Amino acid sequence: MTPFGQRLADALDRRGPLCVGIDPHPGLLTAWGLGVDVDGLTRFSELCVEAFGTTVAVVKPQVAFFEAFGSAGLAVLERTIAALTEAGALVLADAKRGDIGSTMDAYARTWLSDGSPLRSDAVTVSPYLGFGSLAPALDLAAGTGRGVFVLAATSNPEGAQVQTARVADGRSVAQVVVDEAAARNADAVGLGSVGVVVGATLAEAPDLSGLHGPILMPGVGAQGGTAEDVRRLAGDHLRAVVPNVSRDVLRHGPSVTELRAAVARTVEGFAFLQN
């Protein structure tokens, strides 16, 4: 398979620089006139696939909201991933997995192996058991042409307690994460396949100059991040940025027409990322 970084760069060029989340939390299911049950989850996901599958570069199902319904919810997630893939969108499973040894290997196989029913184009992972603990996911992703987005400097205020702490050489923990991801991208042709997550609501970002990989920026819209925040934090690396919007788009459902219109407006607001 063509490496994820190359496929991502192509998708962003063709469909515009945007990742839209599928976040079927109970309040949103209710707002869409759906039941807080597997039937509601199924219909919500079907509408999202119809709205985003052929229009958005990256679609990010929030795994926890599917897991909340047990095995039936995971079956809906399997079908949603397959339908989005068939429609041509890149699927980023927002699972935020992080562990050690055989457990991390199992997480990696779940989201990144060719034979898994939950296989996605990329997955989010947490490095806070040490960046080296992510090796099973990073190695498998490299072998199957998939991607990994590593949490580096997140939007939630609690994250600063860990992410802004300093290591012995004076770097912040977030900077160490970015630098380790950069090392994994060192031999990539074009955009690398190991990305980082940097919140759009931050006052400042880690130094991203050597990353050579994609930068997922959540926090845009309902959480207060703006296009100008994205421009400020990304600096000279705008072509690598993938803004992530969820609530500001999903609040326009359940109308597929309105969801697509919200996507179009959002993409237009980030047109500067493609200049």
Phi/psi at 126 (nearest 5 deg)? -110, 130
Instruction: Say if domain 4-274 classifies as CATH 3.30.420.280.
Output: no
Q: Is there a contact between 17 and 243 (Cβ–Cβ < 8 Å)? A: yes
pLDDT at 246 over 90: yes
| CA-based torsion, 80, 86, 87, 93: positive or negative | positive
Structure tokens at 104: 């991390």
Query: Is residue 1's pLDDT more than 90?
Result: no
pLDDT at 236: 84
pLDDT at 131: 97
Q: Which helix (H) or strand (E) holds 150?
A: strand 147-153
What are the phi and psi torsion angles at 122 (to 5°)? Answer: -160, 165
- Domain spans of the chain, in order of start: 4-274
259, 253 contact by CB (below 8 A): yes
What pLDDT is recorded for position 235? 84
**Other Cβ atoms within 10 Å of 40 Cβ, number:** 19
* pLDDT tier, 274 (very low <50, low <70, confident <90, very high otherwise): confident
Rounded distance, CA 181 to CA 210, Å?
Answer: 9
pLDDT tens track for 76-105: 999 999 999 999 999 999 999 999 999 999
C-alpha torsion sign, points 131, 135, 136, 140: positive
Catalytic sites, residue numbers: 96
Find out whether 103 and 140 touch, Cβ atoms under 8 Å: no
Q: In the prediction, which pLDDT does 112 show?
A: 98
Longest dimension (CA), the chain: 54
Mean pLDDT across the chain, nearest whole number?
96
Query: Residues 163-201: pLDDT tens digits?
Result: 999 999 999 999 999 999 999 999 999 999 999 999 999
Q: What's residue 34's pLDDT? A: 98
**CB neighbours of 83 closer than 8 A, spacing ≥ 6?**
46, 49, 53
CA torsion sign for 91, 94, 96, 99 is negative
Q: What is the pLDDT of residue 167?
A: 97
Cβ partners under 8 Å of residue 171, min gap 6: 179
Residue 62 has pLDDT above 80, yes or no: yes
220 and 200 Cβ atoms separated by less than 8 Å: yes
Q: Do 227 and 269 touch, CB atoms closer than 8 A? A: yes
Residue 212 pLDDT:
96
pLDDT recorded at residue 262: 97
- At which residue do the structure tokens 């498998």 appear? 140
